[in-house]
Amino acid sequence: MIWRHLLALGTLLPLTVAAGDAAAAKTGLLGDVTFTEYSTYASSAELARRLVSPLNVLRLQHQAAATHVGISEQPIDLAREHFALYVPAREPAAGYALLVFVPPWPQAEIPPRWIPALERLGVILVSAANAGNDANVLDRRDPLALLAAHNVMSRYHVDPARVFIGGFSGGSRVALRLALGYPDLFRGALLDAGSDVIGEQIPSPPRDLLYRFQESTRLVYLTGERDVFHEDADQRSRQSLRTWCVFDVDNQTMPWTGHELADGSSLERALKSLAVHRSAEPGKLASCRASMDSLLSQQLDQAQGLIASGASGPARQLLDQIDTHYGGLAAPRSVELAQRLSGVP
């Protein structure tokens, strides 16, 4: 598991990358595809930095050091993995769009009803095998999606401004966390009947990545109107995005539909929406960020005061709450306070 890979960055082994196979750049429906290229995006250290809260990374590093557990640079062995692809016959002038799809099921498959929309819009779809809801998120679902994106972009002419992550149900929740942690790769996320609350189920990444997510990522929610449970979850998720100063959000509903995979026309509508980025008003974004930073500073000051007064229990509890909600935005100060509290440099 990735928990055993999170040691200090200085101990990481060199990354080796195999050359892409130009001859493999075929079109149409491609099953049982294998990839060979690794990416630093999918390394254990980078997954931890972007997707795990800083205090949890600190705990895992201490645990790994105490147990003398070795490290693996990459949690995935690509020689064992298989993917499904659909590549439209005609390449758009600016390059293909790319949708990395995280499924809730274990098979690597392309939904047949999506193929006409993918063909019309010039969108490559890639999906990994054994990346369903039963698979470990950090060990498999996250790195498989990242490696799929990297390898498709190595084999095909892909427009980097139209690289998207998406999923259905539980896979959609994975897509949201990857969009938040990797805004320098994914420019948008298609959330088909699945979402989470930022600051509760998903920690914030470091400040530079959060700011990029706020500025450049578009999110499209797509849920059946009769899927009441996920409609409610979507509403809470969108509210949390506003709190986190994320405003480029579109909400689409599929009429007369329950908890079902999107049909072809709904997918096409959502993909078209993903391509329409709307920048936040600079004043609105700056004001929201200032308010967020003020609240964070107040809580960190409170934790520092508790530590200074010797109230280690309440201080530890407050730091855990800050870490869960603010994640990487609270670092490095949250980490410094936690180390002062534990006496570990």
Would you state the pLDDT for residue 275? 93
pLDDT digits (tens, 9 = 90+) for 226-245: 999 999 999 999 999 999 99
Flag whether pLDDT at 11 surpasses 80. Answer: no
Q: Which residues contact 279 (CB under 8 A, 6 or more apart)?
A: 215, 248
Mean pLDDT of the chain: 91
pLDDT digits (tens, 9 = 90+) for 181-228: 999 999 999 999 999 999 998 999 999 999 999 999 999 999 999 999
Contact 198, 218 (CB under 8 A): no
Does domain 2-280 fall into CATH 3.40.50.1820?
yes
pLDDT digits (tens, 9 = 90+) for 140-189: 999 999 999 999 999 999 999 999 999 999 999 999 999 999 999 999 99
19-28, 55-64, 123-132, 239-248, range with the lowest pLDDT: 19-28
Single pTM value for the model? 0.91
Would you state the pLDDT for residue 322? 97
Domain positions in the chain are 2-280, 283-342
Q: For 102-122, give one letter per residue: b (16+ CB within 10 A) or e.
A: bbbbeebebbeebbebbbebb
Give the bridge partners for 251, in sequence order. 221
| pLDDT range class, residue 18, cuts 50, 70, 90 | very low
